Amino acid sequence: MNDVHALSGAYAVDALDDLERIRFERHLAECDECRYEVDSLREATGLLTEVAPVTPPPALRDRLLADIATVRPLPPLRQEVAPRRTRRFPVLVAAAAAVVALLGVGGVVAVTQPWEDGTSNLEAGPGLTTPKAVTDVLQAQDARSVTRTFEDGAKATITRSKSLRQAVIVTEGMADPGDGLVYELWFQRDGRMKAAGFMPDGPDNVVLLSGDAATAEAVGITVEPEGGSATPNFESAIVIDFDQA
């Protein structure tokens, strides 16, 4: 679901999966309209629980079954699925340049302590990473976060716990890297980049980076061919420095 505002109803009745809840709670912290809507829906839900059950009249079931027998069902609707838009790039460098242009290398950086601003409640979605490992990092007393906001509105937040020697990245609204391409993650240490995993498909993800984060100087995000690369494509590199935390 692309419109995060539309998740308010499902959130109010606890019907979101873990990844959708992560996405919506981060949005909820910044959206007064959605907070009001969630509060109103929860109040209405509470009132429904106070309504006494009503026993239907005995003849209702027989009447409904009789009506069903006289109604001709409509043919099933054919759902037209829009073809997935793909972007083909003649060379990897061109793809990387396009993504960097979309995100904007400059952007805005915000530094937070996740256990103070409420983001420590984040959990990973199914198949992304172990929820406990993620929450352990976000709830660690020494956890520090750096958020990069890009020119297209996308965000990437890196949270590191030196004591746990681990780091987590949370993204929102990341641009599609392109057909046959992926976002690869890297730890920078002593000026060298070491592969630390991949971002799954989709704009919003939570990933526990692979490797020792305690001595890393920064996290890099690059656009690479599917399967990754032995060395990063520096034409597409976005580097988020831990020193900012």
Over residues 117-165, the pLDDT tens digits come to: 444 434 444 334 446 888 888 888 999 999 888 888 889 999 999 999 9
**Helix or strand run (H / E) with residue 6:** none
pLDDT for 188: 92
Write the CB contacts of 159 (distance below 8 Å, at least 6 apart in sequence): 114, 119, 137, 138, 143, 144, 145, 167, 168, 169, 170
For the chain, the domains span 1-83, 92-244
d(CA 145, CA 126): 23
CATH classification code of 1-83: 1.10.10.1320
Residue 69 CA to residue 245 CA, distance in Å, equals: 68
Closest CA to 206 of 139, 132, 128, 103: 128
User: Mean pLDDT, to the nearest integer, of 226-245?
Assistant: 83
Q: What is the pLDDT of residue 52?
A: 61
Residues 6+ apart with CB under 8 A from 75: none
Confidence of residue 213 (pLDDT cuts 50, 70, 90): very high
Q: What is the pLDDT of residues 7-18, one digit of tens each?
A: 888 888 888 877
pLDDT value at residue 197: 92
